[in-house]
Chain A
Amino acid sequence: MTQKESPSVVLFESISHALRAEKLIKAANISCKLIPVPRHLSSDCGVCLRFSSGTKEHVENILQGKLDFFEIKPL
């Protein structure tokens, strides 16, 4: 698997933020999925949004300014 195809996740401070982000990203036709936060990442809320790292810039642009707090990390 190349770097581009490997997944990344967006971490949020609450489930409400995660659900809002999921809606925004899906509306832009980027495939993503809400999953439990992997143990090694720890996080504020129990779920994070997994997406293909190749779309990272796009995902960042969508969320920027729309959500107070989020962090993107490679999985």
Chain B
Amino acid sequence: MKTIYLDNAATSFPKPEAMLAAMISYQQNIGGSPGRSGHGLSIDAGRIVFETRETLARLLNIEDPLRIAFTKNSTEALNIALLGFLKRGDHVITTGMEHNSVMRPLRFLQTQGVELSVIPCSPQGELDPEDIKKAFQKHTKLVVLTHASNVTGTIMPVYEIGKMIRARGDVLLCVDAAQTAGALPVDVGKMAIDLLAFTGHKSLYGPQGTGGLYIREGLDRRIAPLMRGGTGSRSEFEAQPDFMPDKYESGTPNAIGLAGLGAGTSFILEQTLEAIRAKELQLTARFLDQLDEDKNHVTVYGSGNAVKQTAVVSFNLTNITPSDAALYFEEKWGIMCRPGLHCAPAAHKTLGTFSQGTIRFSFGFFNNEKDIDHAAGAVRDLIQKGNKI
């Protein structure tokens, strides 16, 4: 049976051939420790890491590539931003659609004297920017939100919120772009984003273990690093460097992973983000249309409109638990999907699907219309079998 991979919101698969080729070439031909020695293989390794920074900066419209610090994933990037910036007595605003990568650091900070407001979203997962505005207090220091929900794909009004926050001047905007960097336009200038966390292994087509944090110029002075250690710079001093990106990049970096991330990001620039988005949107719309034909048996969460979301569809079938459905889809149809809570209990509480969760199909650039029709066929089959499976 053919495997149909529909779990791209967890990690994209397969990857562009160039991504694997770049990693093999790196380890076969370079393999030095980047920035740690003056010899050719170390410098070439550093060059690969730097080129990845530049490619990402181009995609995300970041003027200075050195404003990007690499991390192992967006969770680490968000932890740096939240734990490094917020202090006892500060007030932070977030939404009811967040992943635990945002929610858990914030709940921890709450126990350390940081005040937290979680702004509810509609049962469709949509956020009204006015509700953020109403939550501002004198001591509000940060708004942190996802660019798009990992559960429903719902795209958040980041542009409107960015404009509103920048107008205030004294509050920062931190965006979790785990689901959107590489899938939707992300422009830190236009969106007035101060801190942008991204992961490499989803829509940027890099390997797992890569990610990063963009920090707007001047803000790094106000953000403590999570870790301290060797950076290859300022080696004569025992104090941590205070400049980007070394301040946040202690220890030998994942150079082979970053070689792959650079190739994955270049793939997006070659294909163009517009073409990738157009294809994913078309696949999502095709699937939603077919689910709509069975709407008496299927509940779709989120907007139900492909234009308003990423290539993620969360749904439930009457009288069938998500975990039973996922097992059936894999065993009978070869479909790899993700049932349950998707590390986002807050989002499921908003949608009313806590605690059983939903079935999530997430599509990618390497899926085609046949995959979508196969997936819709699997859903129809399970509806017919009902709870007799």
Size bracket, chain B contacts? 20 to 34
B233 contacts chain A at the CB level, 8 A cutoff: yes
Across the interface, name the chain B residue whose C-beta is closest to A34. B43
Find A13's partner among B42, B43, B46, B233 (CB 8 Å cutoff): B233
Distance of A69 Cα from B233 Cα, bound (Å): 13
- Contact between A44 and B234, CB atoms less than 8 A apart: yes
Find B35's partner among A20, A36, A46, A69 (CB 8 Å cutoff): A46
Q: A14-B35, A46-B37, A68-B243 are in contact. Are A19 and B236 (CB under 8 A)?
A: no
Across the interface, name the chain B residue whose C-beta is closest to A12. B233
- Please indicate the chain B residues that have their CB under 8 angstroms from the CB of A18 in the complex: 46
- Contact between B233 and A47, CB atoms less than 8 A apart: no
Report the number of A-B residue pairs with Cβ-Cβ less than 8 Å.
66
Give the A interface residue count (CB, 8 A).
20
- Contact between A45 and B35, CB atoms less than 8 A apart: yes
B36-63 interface mask toward A, CB cutoff 8 Å, 1 = contact, 0 = none?
1111001100110110010000000000
- Please indicate the chain B residues that have their CB under 8 angstroms from the CB of A42 in the complex: 236
A35 contacts chain B at the CB level, 8 A cutoff: yes
CB distance from A61 to the nearest CB of B (A): 19
A3-23 interface mask toward B, CB cutoff 8 Å, 1 = contact, 0 = none?
000000000011111111001
- Please indicate the chain B residues that have their CB under 8 angstroms from the CB of A59 in the complex: none
Q: Kindly identify, within residues 31 to 69 of chain A, every residue whose CB is under 8 Å from any CB belonging to chain B.
A: 34-37, 42, 44-47, 68-69
- Please indicate the chain A residues that have their CB under 8 angstroms from the CB of B53 in the complex: 16
Distance of A43 Cα from B245 Cα, bound (Å): 18
Report whether over half of chain B's contact residues are helix, strand or loop; otherwise say mixed.
loop
Find A14's partner among B39, B236, B243 (CB 8 Å cutoff): B243
Across the interface, name the chain B residue whose C-beta is closest to A14. B233
- Contact between B243 and A45, CB atoms less than 8 A apart: no
- Please indicate the chain B residues that have their CB under 8 angstroms from the CB of A46 in the complex: 35-38, 42, 232, 235
- Please indicate the chain B residues that have their CB under 8 angstroms from the CB of A37 in the complex: 38
CB distance from A6 to the nearest CB of B (A): 20
- Contact between B35 and A34, CB atoms less than 8 A apart: no
- Please indicate the chain B residues that have their CB under 8 angstroms from the CB of A13 in the complex: 233-234, 241, 243, 246
B364 contacts chain A at the CB level, 8 A cutoff: no
- Please indicate the chain A residues that have their CB under 8 angstroms from the CB of B231 in the complex: 14
B200 contacts chain A at the CB level, 8 A cutoff: no
Distance of A13 Cα from B232 Cα, bound (Å): 10
Across the interface, name the chain A residue whose C-beta is closest to B51. A19
- Please indicate the chain A residues that have their CB under 8 angstroms from the CB of B246 in the complex: 13-14, 16
- Contact between A36 and B37, CB atoms less than 8 A apart: yes
Please list the residues of chain A having a beta carbon within 8 angstroms of any beta carbon in chain B: 13-20, 23, 34-37, 42, 44-47, 68-69
Ordered nearest first, which 9 A-B pairs have the shortest CB separation?
A: A36-B38, A15-B35, A14-B233, A19-B50, A45-B233, A15-B46, A47-B38, A44-B234, A14-B246
